[in-house]
Chains A and B, each alone.
Chain A
Amino acid sequence: MSRTLLGLLVLATLMLSGCGDDDAPAAGGHGYADLGNEAAGYAQATPGATLAFPVDHGTHPDYRIEWWYLTANLEDDAGHTYGLQWTLFRQAMSPPGREQDTKAPWASRQLWMAHAAVTTPNGHRASERFARGGSGQAGVTAAPFAAWLDDWELKSTGEAFTPLTVAAATDDFSYRLELTADGPLVLQGNNGFSQKSADGQGSYYYSQPFLHASGTLNLDGQPVEVHGQAWLDREWSSQLLGGDQAGWDWFSLHLDDGYKLMAFRLRGSDAFISGSWIAPDGMVTPLAGDDITLEPLEQRDVQGHRLPLRWRLQLARPGRDITLDVTATIDDQWMNTTFAYWEGAVQVNGDHKGVGYLEMTGY
């Protein structure tokens, strides 16, 4: 599951012009179509590179955007279902080596943004935080792993990457979960290189979809004990897109027999579809556009946006096709943050039952 859109939004709104001293807006205007041309000076994601751990759990400051993205499908003892999101974004404001004064105490070319959200049976709450790099307010260390912005933190409890704890607190909700893994890290796409358009652009992308979560949600001061499954995505890139892609639909699904499915569609004149079928032992089968169909079934209005909240996913698998019916647990899981999008818990029916998360952007 990639979070390209958010990165894009951040890029589109913050990173308009070229870097250095030239403050004139870049020719070509403010659309994200420019992004593909704006990557000069940044390190590039290319196929064939080998991801290395634990180093790659940490930051990649020479790449333009990067994120640590955790979602969880939870339930309490009474059987009520909850969704949870914890995300840390890093964004470079200029390429490495071209900024003066970055050595000064408050000067930094990195910008951090964090999102936290909780979906309950009757509502959705979201919050955001921002920080500059270099002050210690936000950052990521690879070993032992810790990613934080203020007291919103995702970190290893010991020397190993897992188990992890995740915590966030806002005025009206907070949470703290323990996360244990019962499967390996999963390299998405081609050995960790995830292609994002037909002309070969892409990102580095790995996941830990085999997380078991348990902990406490606090909603308006009322604690709720919860447990369930979680999915961590890691992605970094400098040049995710080409062309005219307008938005994204992204699925990360936990199926009841231990299988996981990641699938995305980049919408544009020429939609780009990709995904991964992940076996319980962590074995990945990359899915190309020919192997998956993503079909919106029902559009509904959420906070002024018309969104497909029911989907049919069809996978061509050797042996037999799989059809999944994916529905939002509640309609309004709109992230009313500075960069707004829909990110929410979903329920899976059809050939497999399951739960998961859906991200929809550009609507």
Chain B
Amino acid sequence: MKGIDAWRALLGALLGHYRRHPGQLAMALLGVIVAGALYSGVQTINAQARDSYARVEALFGSGDIDTIRPIDRPPTQADFARLRRAGVPVTPLVEGNITLASGQHLHLLGIDALSLPPDIGSVAHGATQRQGESLTAFLRPPYRLDVAADTVRALGAEAGQRLTLVNDRELPPIAIQRELAPEVAVTDIAAASALLGRGTQLDALLLPHAAPLLATVAEDYQRSPRRAPISPGQLSESFRLNLTAMGMLALLVGLFIVHSALGLALAQRMPTFAILRALGVSRRALVTALALELLTLGLIGALLGLAGGVVLATILMPGVAATLSSLYDERVAGALTLTPSGIAAGLAMTLAGTVTAGLSLLRRAARVNVLAPAHAGSEARSGMRQRRRLATSGGVLWLIAGALWLYLSRFASADSGHGLLLGFVLIAALLLGAALLLPALLDAVLVTLTRLLRGRAVIIEWALADTRLQLPRLGLALAALLLALTANLGVSSMVGGFRLTFLDWLDQRLSAELYVHPGNVDTITVTDWLRTQPEVNGVLTMHRSEARTADGLPLDLRAIDVSPLRQRYWPLLESTDAPWQNVNEGGALINEQLAHRRGLTPGDSVTLKTPSGTLSLQVAGIYADYGNPRGEVALSLATFAHHWYTSGGESSLAVYVNSEAAAEVSARLRQHFDLDDQAVIDQQSIKGESQRIFERTFAITRALNTLTLAVAALALTSALLALGRWRRAQLAPLWAMGLSRARLAWISIIQVVTLATLTALLALPLGVALTEALVGIINVEAFGWRLPLHIFPVQMVWAVLLAALVAGAGAGIASLRLWRTPPRVLLEEFRS
């Protein structure tokens, strides 16, 4: 090839095809776009979540922070002054949620920038740049409201603006502080105290964990780890890893579409290639031109895909934000922020995917025989070889998956940290192995069917043999269908099973009709009063506090009364012979999360720091504690009172009343002790809230799952369309032998539906295996709790029907074309 003109002519000849068949171009482009959109959408969400997480974590720095409070009341300004003058470097914090006139919420932090330790984190970044106007503006009326840029955008506000609260109070002028966590506003403590109506009262006195609480004041104050507004990073990391896995799956499935659409375009241009080659176009020039075409397609598709990804992320982001905030109490910015590196990664990944999908086609084009198009029989033979190769690789992957499974369920240590990643490797090996084995398995089934049906009818025998012949070309699309179906089945059984277990557990644990948080009112007084009420059948006391293990892990602490009522409603997963007696004698119950993290079983012991030293507690039992990211230890009220004599924390009461009298008792209780609405909560509201959080948690997983399935259906349809032209050559002789076009069309549909149904049937056991991997390995590693395996037969039937329907629809579209093919065209097939 020489000169621009020659190239122009070549490209013109190649691309002219798409002018005649714009549908093919659209399909190929759609594949790239869908793949790119799903991938970059998920990546954008992930990046956002990670960034938000990092910002939340940075809010109070990476160091451990404790809270200091007087033994019997909330801290005040006087405690702050007293502790500072005693040489304890505490800093005051006022915090609360505020509702803007627009209905939006912000978490308001009131800080004293002057007493914050210099390394405390981003909470005071803007304020502690102790130079220029910055500090003065922060400390002086009208004060300043530091907010992250994405939060400002989400509020529809701008720097300098003063927002109004629902109660008509005006907030300080907004200043943008990039590093701040989403939905968090930081202002001077004077402004925050006034806005939140705190007076001299504080919400917390913070002290770096390394700073000592001097002996002169130690006995008047209680020190406990600050209940971090965020959970350990590993937990939400697992959620994001989940999303990443979904994104990769979506990319893979999308690229199947690209592959089949390009395959179609290529197949139809084979004669053109042959002519071009005959005209003297070199093999290299042809491949280069096609590669150029592929790259252009990939680039355009990737760009559009990126745009699609942003749209997708924008739609899904609020859900993800809500999920992360309810599941992990993590604040994630609802408004998207795109980073150049994120854009580049999305584009590169999609482009690389497209090129990979097109590579085998380029190889095929390079091998174009100048004299004759490929022969069906030879293709079938090479297909068989390929099938064997794929099956071998698939088998190896399954072996790897099996070995990993064995390792993870038997030998993996709890705290090793790499369990989650290995779990995902396992799942990848399992699914990919299945996809590679699929053609061989389908072929085996078809061979068996042929043997069983031998001699019944020639047309059936032919149809089965013909189906086998189609396998190599449909294999990829069927593999996509298999993956999508398996993922769908696995994830929805996991979610469904979790739901059953969770609801069951909620029913058991939330057995009382009313839950009371007496706040400043003495718990014993409230309990005594409740016991005098005729409708009340029983009252259980619980005291919540925080502690650290001897090696510094922050834990929740629950002190409970060990009554028969409690024992009835506190199911244990594992226990010693007499767990409650053990608890009464100074033992403890621990939640599953702590047991998993520390590899504890009943009979082991756990050592906690107490105000008087360390305390070793025997583990009497392990209980389920779904939804709690933290480790928890439950011990008897007596043990707690003995070792944590300075009784910090919060008490609550579970009140068992005749259910019809619950509302009345609740009202009477509130009135008698002048408690606010939040102090008495009925069972239904708690359950409702828990379920709402649960549903939200898995909404995104479900949405992505459905999208993936839709993409798989699209991939199958495009593969079938690609097959059309080739099928015509196969079917023309049968038509010539007297089979009507309608009959042939029906046979084609039945063939494809059979393949899809077989694939779906194979997806069923695979789905169960995936569910087991998710509940038994991934969940344990990610969340610290194990779930029983639940199987949902109805869902399986639906999956098979869905697969058949999708295949039928796809084949229907392809067959419609065949049916409409004029006889003249079919006759053409015999010309060469």
| A339 CB to nearest chain B CB (Å) | 9
Least CB separation from B132: chain A residue: A13
Chain B residues closer than 8 Å to A93, beta-carbon distance: 136, 139-140
Q: Is B16 an interface residue (CB 8 A)?
A: no
Partner of B133 from the list A17, A21, A137, A148 (CB cut-off 8 Å) is A17
**Distance between Cα atoms of A108 and B190 in the complex (Å):** 8
Q: Are B77 and A135 in contact (CB under 8 A)?
A: yes
Partner of A104 from the list B85, B114, B135, B193 (CB cut-off 8 Å) is B193
| B186 CB to nearest chain A CB (Å) | 14
What string of 1s and 0s marks CB contacts (under 8 Å) between A81-106 and chain B?
00000000000011000011100111
Q: Is B273 an interface residue (CB 8 A)?
A: no
Chain B residues closer than 8 Å to A169, beta-carbon distance: 87
Q: Is B131 an interface residue (CB 8 A)?
A: yes
Chain B residues closer than 8 Å to A153, beta-carbon distance: 85
**Distance between Cα atoms of A153 and B112 in the complex (Å):** 21
**Distance between Cα atoms of A267 and B115 in the complex (Å):** 34
Q: Are B199 and A105 in contact (CB under 8 A)?
A: yes
Q: Are B136 and A14 in contact (CB under 8 A)?
A: yes
Q: Is A132 an interface residue (CB 8 A)?
A: yes
Q: Is A183 an interface residue (CB 8 A)?
A: no
Q: Are A137 and B84 in contact (CB under 8 A)?
A: yes
| A66 CB to nearest chain B CB (Å) | 17
Q: Are B133 and A132 in contact (CB under 8 A)?
A: no
Q: Is A111 an interface residue (CB 8 A)?
A: yes
**Distance between Cα atoms of A131 and B189 in the complex (Å):** 13
Q: List 25 A-B contacts (CB under 8 A).
A: A14-B135, A14-B136, A17-B133, A21-B141, A25-B133, A93-B139, A93-B140, A101-B141, A104-B190, A105-B77, A106-B77, A106-B188, A106-B193, A130-B114, A131-B84, A132-B139, A135-B112, A137-B115, A150-B84, A150-B87, A150-B89, A151-B84, A151-B87, A338-B130, A338-B131
Segment 111-163 of A: residues with Cβ below 8 Å from B: 111, 130-132, 135-137, 148, 150-151, 153
**Distance between Cα atoms of A145 and B84 in the complex (Å):** 19
A interface residues (Cβ-Cβ under 8 A, vs B): 13-17, 21, 23, 25, 30, 93-94, 99-101, 104-109, 111, 130-132, 135-137, 148, 150-151, 153, 169, 338
Segment 370-420 of B: residues with Cβ below 8 Å from A: none
Chain A residues closer than 8 Å to B315, beta-carbon distance: none
What string of 1s and 0s marks CB contacts (under 8 Å) between B120-139 and chain A?
00000000001111011101
Partner of A106 from the list B78, B130, B189 (CB cut-off 8 Å) is B189
**Distance between Cα atoms of A248 and B77 in the complex (Å):** 39
Q: Are A148 and B141 in contact (CB under 8 A)?
A: no
Partner of B78 from the list A17, A136, A338 (CB cut-off 8 Å) is A136
Least CB separation from A167: chain B residue: B87
Chain A residues closer than 8 Å to B140, beta-carbon distance: 93-94, 99, 109
Q: Are B131 and A13 in contact (CB under 8 A)?
A: yes
Chain A residues closer than 8 Å to B86, beta-carbon distance: 151
Chain A residues closer than 8 Å to B131, beta-carbon distance: 13, 338
Chain A residues closer than 8 Å to B92, beta-carbon distance: 106, 135
Q: Is B730 an interface residue (CB 8 A)?
A: no
What string of 1s and 0s marks CB contacts (under 8 Å) between B188-204 and chain A?
11100110000110000
Which of B84, B188, B200 gathers most chain A CB within 10 Å? B84
Q: Are B80 and A135 in contact (CB under 8 A)?
A: yes
**Distance between Cα atoms of A297 and B137 in the complex (Å):** 43
Chain A residues closer than 8 Å to B232, beta-carbon distance: none
Q: Are A131 and B85 in contact (CB under 8 A)?
A: no
**Distance between Cα atoms of A132 and B199 in the complex (Å):** 16
| B216 CB to nearest chain A CB (Å) | 10
Partner of B114 from the list A16, A25, A131, A136 (CB cut-off 8 Å) is A131
Q: Are A106 and B142 in contact (CB under 8 A)?
A: no
**Distance between Cα atoms of A108 and B141 in the complex (Å):** 10
Chain B residues closer than 8 Å to A16, beta-carbon distance: 132-133, 136
| B128 CB to nearest chain A CB (Å) | 9
Chain B residues closer than 8 Å to A23, beta-carbon distance: 137, 142
**Distance between Cα atoms of A93 and B189 in the complex (Å):** 16
Chain A residues closer than 8 Å to B110, beta-carbon distance: 106
**Distance between Cα atoms of A150 and B117 in the complex (Å):** 13
Q: Are A107 and B190 in contact (CB under 8 A)?
A: yes
| A92 CB to nearest chain B CB (Å) | 11
B interface residues (Cβ-Cβ under 8 A, vs A): 77-78, 80-82, 84-87, 89, 92, 110, 112, 114-115, 130-133, 135-137, 139-142, 188-190, 193-194, 199-200
**Distance between Cα atoms of A99 and B140 in the complex (Å):** 9
Which of A16, A106, A130, A151 gathers most chain B CB within 10 Å? A106
Partner of B81 from the list A17, A135, A338 (CB cut-off 8 Å) is A135
**Distance between Cα atoms of A130 and B116 in the complex (Å):** 9
Given contacts A25-B133, A150-B87, A107 and B141 within 8 Å (CB-CB): yes
Given contacts A130-B114, A132-B112, A101 and B81 within 8 Å (CB-CB): no
Q: A132-B114, A137-B85 are in contact. List 18 more A-B contacts (CB 8 A).
A: A14-B135, A25-B133, A93-B136, A93-B139, A99-B141, A105-B77, A105-B193, A106-B77, A106-B188, A106-B193, A107-B141, A111-B139, A136-B78, A148-B85, A150-B85, A150-B89, A151-B86, A153-B85
| A227 CB to nearest chain B CB (Å) | 25
Chain B residues closer than 8 Å to A99, beta-carbon distance: 140-141
Least CB separation from B136: chain A residue: A14
Chain A residues closer than 8 Å to B194, beta-carbon distance: 101, 104, 107
Chain B residues closer than 8 Å to A109, beta-carbon distance: 140
Q: Are B112 and A15 in contact (CB under 8 A)?
A: no
| A42 CB to nearest chain B CB (Å) | 16
Least CB separation from A106: chain B residue: B190
Chain A residues closer than 8 Å to B190, beta-carbon distance: 101, 104-108
**Distance between Cα atoms of A108 and B142 in the complex (Å):** 12
**Distance between Cα atoms of A13 and B199 in the complex (Å):** 31
Given contacts A14-B136, A23-B137, A99-B141, A106 and B112 within 8 Å (CB-CB): yes
| B488 CB to nearest chain A CB (Å) | 56
Which of A13, A109, A153 gathers most chain B CB within 10 Å? A13
| B207 CB to nearest chain A CB (Å) | 13
| A266 CB to nearest chain B CB (Å) | 23
Chain A residues closer than 8 Å to B193, beta-carbon distance: 104-106
Q: Are B199 and A130 in contact (CB under 8 A)?
A: no
Partner of A130 from the list B81, B85, B115, B136 (CB cut-off 8 Å) is B115
Q: Are B85 and A151 in contact (CB under 8 A)?
A: yes
| A74 CB to nearest chain B CB (Å) | 23
Chain B residues closer than 8 Å to A107, beta-carbon distance: 141, 190, 194
Least CB separation from A169: chain B residue: B87
Least CB separation from A101: chain B residue: B141
Which of A13, A21, A135 gathers most chain B CB within 10 Å? A135
**Distance between Cα atoms of A94 and B141 in the complex (Å):** 10
| A235 CB to nearest chain B CB (Å) | 22
**Distance between Cα atoms of A148 and B82 in the complex (Å):** 12
Q: Are A137 and B80 in contact (CB under 8 A)?
A: yes
**Distance between Cα atoms of A94 and B140 in the complex (Å):** 9
**Distance between Cα atoms of A93 and B112 in the complex (Å):** 16
Chain A residues closer than 8 Å to B133, beta-carbon distance: 14, 16-17, 25
**Distance between Cα atoms of A338 and B130 in the complex (Å):** 7
**Distance between Cα atoms of A7 and B77 in the complex (Å):** 28
**Distance between Cα atoms of A20 and B115 in the complex (Å):** 25
Chain A residues closer than 8 Å to B199, beta-carbon distance: 105
**Distance between Cα atoms of A148 and B199 in the complex (Å):** 24
Least CB separation from B130: chain A residue: A338
Which of B89, B92, B130, B135 gathers most chain A CB within 10 Å? B130
**Distance between Cα atoms of A21 and B141 in the complex (Å):** 7
Chain B residues closer than 8 Å to A148, beta-carbon distance: 85
Partner of B115 from the list A101, A108, A131, A151 (CB cut-off 8 Å) is A131
Which of A23, A132, A137, A151 gathers most chain B CB within 10 Å? A137
**Distance between Cα atoms of A172 and B86 in the complex (Å):** 18
| A334 CB to nearest chain B CB (Å) | 18
**Distance between Cα atoms of A132 and B130 in the complex (Å):** 13
Chain A residues closer than 8 Å to B139, beta-carbon distance: 93, 111, 132
Which of B78, B110, B135, B190 gathers most chain A CB within 10 Å? B190
Chain A residues closer than 8 Å to B114, beta-carbon distance: 111, 130-132
